[in-house]
Copies of this chain bind each other. A is one copy, B any other.
């Protein structure tokens, strides 16, 4: 499907938003849409990936498959996020849709030539890469904590921030974007431990659960304290 940028939900936030309408139109002619169902794989591990993508709707996860077959979640991708590595195309990461998602796909060489043509695009991608790096390091700090309670509390706070409109205040009520299995996977814990810690958070009055995935923050300060602990 051809790209129609005029109606793109991330046209003001994605990397391509630094281009003017004409430039964007030129780029759009070289890309196309793709819809992914939940669980569908965008880039498979071990394949030589020579394309890249911007996520417009939905959510993706970046995982690595260890030598022993264990999956590990390395990052989440939100709308306007960019996926693609130009310089080492043999990638050992796998990109999987968490929910039904839509991406703008481009061939690597097309984006590279577009960067030559429009230097602002390279700057925008640099910015995205640095943001991704920051997010990755935040996750590293979280996963490195020795206390499981702190990890789970921190993860919930992170999701609350991500679910919020404002960048400084967490959402008070939101849905976890991940299953327990995926939460456990991000933190290097087991499903059971995550479940137990969430239960503990509810028992001590920091949160209230609504349904499987729903979370309501009752005492964010307590949650932050636990995340620090």
Contacts and interface: CB of A to CB of B under 8 A. Distances in A.
A7 interface: no
A68 interface: yes
Contacts of A134: 85, 88
Contacts of A162: none
Given A125-B126, A146-B188, A141 B86 contact: no
Contact of A130 (B66, B85, B131): B85
A145 interface: yes
Q: Is the interface of A mostly helix, strand, loop or mixed?
A: helix
Contacts of A129: 126, 129-130, 133
Interface in A175-229: 187-188, 224, 227-229
Interface in A122-168: 122-123, 125-127, 129-134, 136-137, 139-141, 143-146
Given A126-B122, A130-B129, A143 B68 contact: no
A134 B136 CA distance: 9
A93 interface: yes
B74 A141 contact: yes
Nearest to A129: B129
B133 A132 contact: yes
